[in-house]
Chain A
């Protein structure tokens, strides 16, 4: 299962974090810093999976933004790898050409999207329009 999902920039600053297993706040900062260091130090020609302590990290880089997902051993690495891209595609569709500022300024919306796609630490929805449906409905509601 998915333990957490992080979005960090190249400086290692967290842009989004979502934990699916409870982690104490004090430990989060250490974990995030450590995880980010693991991923940022890797070169482009290295594979996107890192064994980290007793679980695995799967990361993908989009411009200056890294998305890092921590998963348990039983998770299919490739499917999570694809999910990350799927997630970015959904963001791209919603924000039409997403940039990292979009994510910072609309943190709550990104969370809604993420919640549609991952729940209880499992991938639950990957269909773009179904993921975005509730959010667009909400936006309409807010406008009126």
Chain B
């Protein structure tokens, strides 16, 4: 036995441990898989040994391999063995492995129940802890049921660590074994007030998660959580609680009222962005979203400025340079957009900016937002911007996203925001130039939809589509562009269907019959063939009118020449249509050769206008007389017999025979009964589209298909645009049109107002935005029941007026201001004797590294005369020179740009160039001026004192940087004693800081280190002691000496 143990431990010495395994894998980069398979073999050997230490080591390595993606489920039993080791270090490895590898369907788990129970009740708290942690990963419903009681007792354990773990694992137990929730809940609730913060936050966590699943049951805890919210300082816990309230508030609107204050406080005060985001996100958004819109509305009323506050805060997030905040801001904004579109719309500029962002995810979020922000006014502008992005965009996914967004934005709610469809068609055509997009079919369906529904646009659309067909080779040039060739489907159909609008149908016909077409996908070829026939009919019609009949025959010949290509097509649809049409054309040709006029008959093949039909139009068609929808057309099969009759039919075979004659003699009563029954059934069938009785009645009196509402449109813009259009030009056109319209409207408005003053019957307030005033240039055939209402025009007028008034006021103020100052100038004419003027050296500022010093001088007129034509001049020294404007001599003065009435002071700035700053400078200067009335030149001498201190800039410095600086040894030392200074130390320091531009680096009791830097980058370090001695170091001794002298002087003055 002893030998065995010794042998085991010797073996162990040569075993690989985890570190060796990791290293080994790193060293075998080329044949990693092979190396690992040998390792696994070794591990298998190790697991066969009795020594638990070896086993634990092996399991530890397995855990690592499992992470790398190797299947280790074969070792499950060994893991259980290691879990049950009495030594904690091994047990821990076992539990870790179990938590990584086990899942609900691992069958060895049922072997662990007793082991886990033993560990849970272990006197060692870490045994318990590790068991709890592990359990949270692999708990099964069985384990949860068996161990629920044990864990529940642990919730009141003396050790907070265990209490916390137990509370947390309870959550998993509740999920797996819901019956445990009821008995455990009171204890869980207690833990919300546990003295240990860790346990408390664990309880908050668990209850919040439970409550979010089923908020109704947790309303009673609201006061408790409210208390926690106002007292907790842990942001993570606060986030949980706010999430919880987000779930509770819809159920208890009164909560919202209570929450306003603490939440608004949090929003205003928190520095944690995550918390702020949660506040904004959860409460304002989750609560405001359906299914409880009425509640959300009342909540909005409670929160006096909620959406605005929210959106403002979000704006701050979006404007932040941190991309993460930007992203989240946009994300939250899009949620608010759903409930408060208005408050978001005002930030359009910001959203548009985000489209330029470097980050694709941010751009996508911004795109989402744009969808909800468009209006008639800004649609063109926004789409124009998006089109620019389409051109710039790299990567097809983003470009595709842009494309779909553009189409989504334009087509939303029946093209509500499009005022000019020519523009839209041009946009669609421009989009076809995209390379590699997958959304050709989307563009195609839009083209079809618009061309069919907007009658006025057909001419324009056909012209565009013909160009597309002509240039089809560009679209189908390479394989990358296959997605976009779907557009040709729409182009061919539109050209064929509305061929009467074609400028040159012959050319288009030829384009459609090019051999290249055969390379297109089958369904597109089919449309080509069919529509070539339509075009053919149109061409024939125009050519037969002419006297020359050969042209018509040539056209037929063209068809006969080209169609066989399609007859050979592998696609059935193409083949079928082509051969059918080919035969038709051959027949036509035969007739043509006999000089028979066929054009009329051929075009009759495709006659008939295609009108858009509303989804509910069918019910508006009156039932023709004599048609009884309730009588059977065919006898219903026997299945339709009511179900309880069926068994009879099975048992009695003769029954069907009898039933038939009986049905034939059904009388009126029976019919009525059945009708009733069917109506009943229809009423109960949710999939049956019911007719609303009212609408039926209305249309019953006016029979005829003509009553399907179709909007008539007249077109104001000339249609012909040569070549492919540029959508941009429409933006301009649209502007002009709108301006015109506005002008017209104003005129009308005036008239109307006069007329209408007496009776203002109707008040439309459904369309709240003034933009409704923009009438579309073309209208979509929106065949829904209601037409969009034109909104109140009074409103807009009012707004405008207000604006005007405001502007006027502003001007007035402005004017007033001017006037005042002018008057002031005139007022102050008074005779005086002598004047006094004091130039004050206020501050020296360095502008940049060129050592420019700006001196601001305050001129104060202390006499009672008016001073004018002031000139400021300084005698330059070698070192310091006054900067004069170009072209003036070195001794010329500078004109002071103002005059001084008596008692008034004003400031002027002068720029000096300074070469060396290590010495103080005194510059002599003169100021000349004229006293009004006396009109003589007066002169005032002054001196400008440039101290060394004034070249210092207060620069903060960290103590470690300061220490490094002192250690560097580059600095020269000097010291000074200040005699007779008795002021508190901190006053002394403050004085040095204030007068000499130092900052305190560190203060330790009786001494302080201070630092400043000159504009030329000299470091100045001081060590000030309470005995009022200053040790100083600087890399420029002269500068240091002068600074110290100046400090000394400062203190000698007091």
Contact = CB atoms under 8 A, between A and B. Distances in A.
B281 A76 contact: yes
A79 B201 contact: no
B18 A105 contact: yes
B328 A78 contact: yes
A119 B133 contact: yes
Given A14-B68, A25-B71, A107-B67, A124 B201 contact: yes
A122 B69 contact: no
A60 to B, nearest CB: 10
A81 B168 contact: no
B274 A76 contact: yes
B205 A122 contact: yes
Contact of B126 (A74, A108, A126, A138): A138
Interface in B155-173: 161, 164, 168-169, 171-172
A102 to B, nearest CB: 11
A133 to B, nearest CB: 7
Contacts of A77: 277, 324, 328
Which of A47, A74, A126, A138 has the largest count of B CB atoms less than 10 A from its CB? A47
B1022 interface: no
A134 B129 contact: yes
Given A79-B278, A137-B126, A124 B323 contact: no
Contact of A122 (B99, B209, B361): B209
A35 to B, nearest CB: 14
Nearest to B132: A119
B1011 interface: no
A45 interface: yes
B92 A127 contact: no
Given A81-B274, A120-B168, A124-B168, A108 B96 contact: yes
B96 A111 contact: yes
A3 B198 CA distance: 23
Nearest to A6: B67
Contacts of A48: 323-324
B582 interface: no
A97 interface: no
Contacts of A49: 324, 327-328, 361
B63 interface: yes
A138 B125 CA distance: 11
Interface residues of A, number: 48
Contacts of B71: 25
Contact of A126 (B18, B236, B277): B236
A21 B96 CA distance: 16
A64 interface: no
Contacts of B360: 46
Nearest to A77: B328
Interface string B893-908: 0000000000000000
B60 interface: yes
A47 B324 CA distance: 5
A82 interface: yes
Nearest to B242: A76
A47 B325 CA distance: 8
A134 B277 CA distance: 33
B104 interface: yes
B85 interface: no
Interface string A16-27: 111000100100
B19 interface: yes
A28 interface: yes
Contacts, number: 129
Interface string B914-952: 000000000000000000000000000000000000000
B598 to A, nearest CB: 61
Interface string A78-95: 110111000000000000
Nearest to B172: A120
Nearest to A32: B69
Given A45-B359, A120-B172, A115 B133 contact: yes
Contacts of A14: 67-69
A108 B168 contact: no
Interface string A47-78: 11111000000000000000000000010111
Interface string A109-144: 001100100011011111100100110011001100
Which of A28, A105, A120, A125 has the largest count of B CB atoms less than 10 A from its CB? A120
B274 A142 contact: no
Given A22-B104, A124-B205, A79 B327 contact: no
B613 to A, nearest CB: 38
B69 A47 contact: no
A133 B323 contact: no
A67 B124 CA distance: 34
B317 to A, nearest CB: 10
B359 A46 contact: yes
Which of B73, B243, B328 has the largest count of A CB atoms less than 10 A from its CB? B328
Nearest to A82: B274
Which of A14, A16, A79, A127 has the largest count of B CB atoms less than 10 A from its CB? A79
B567 to A, nearest CB: 47
A50 B161 contact: no
B361 A108 contact: no
B69 A105 contact: no
Given A108-B96, A126-B234, A142-B89, A81 B22 contact: no
A79 B274 contact: yes
B361 A47 contact: yes
Interface string B274-316: 1101100100000000000000000000000000000000000
B88 interface: yes
Given A14-B67, A134-B126, A134-B129, A79 B326 contact: no
Contacts of B402: none
A49 B202 CA distance: 27
A29 interface: yes
A13 B645 CA distance: 69
Contacts of B96: 108, 111-112
B239 A79 contact: yes
B67 A16 contact: yes
Contact of A25 (B69, B212, B327, B358): B69
Nearest to A16: B67
Contacts of A47: 323-324, 326-327, 359, 361-362
Contacts of B359: 45-47
B201 A134 contact: no
B690 interface: no
B995 interface: no
A28 B328 contact: no
B64 interface: yes
A79 B63 contact: no
A35 B671 CA distance: 66
B273 interface: yes
Contacts of A127: 197-198
B238 to A, nearest CB: 10
A141 B88 contact: yes
Interface in B87-105: 88-89, 92-93, 96, 99-100, 103-104
A99 interface: no
Interface in B214-262: 234-236, 239, 243
Across the A-B interface, give the 5 residue pairs with the lowest CB-CB distance, nearest first: A78-B274, A47-B323, A46-B359, A47-B327, A29-B69
Interface of B: 18-19, 22, 60, 63-64, 66-69, 71, 73, 88-89, 92-93, 96, 99-100, 103-104, 126, 129, 133, 136, 161, 164, 168-169, 171-172, 197-198, 201-202, 205, 209, 212, 234-236, 239, 243, 272-275, 277-278, 281, 323-328, 358-362
10 contacts: A14-B68, A28-B69, A46-B358, A46-B359, A47-B359, A49-B324, A81-B274, A122-B209, A124-B202, A134-B161
Given A46-B359, A47-B361, A134-B129, 11 more contacts: A47-B323, A76-B277, A107-B64, A107-B67, A108-B63, A120-B169, A120-B172, A125-B164, A125-B198, A133-B161, A141-B126
Interface of A: 1, 14, 16-18, 22, 25, 28-29, 32, 43, 45-51, 74, 76-79, 81-83, 104-105, 107-108, 111-112, 115, 119-120, 122-127, 130, 133-134, 137-138, 141-142
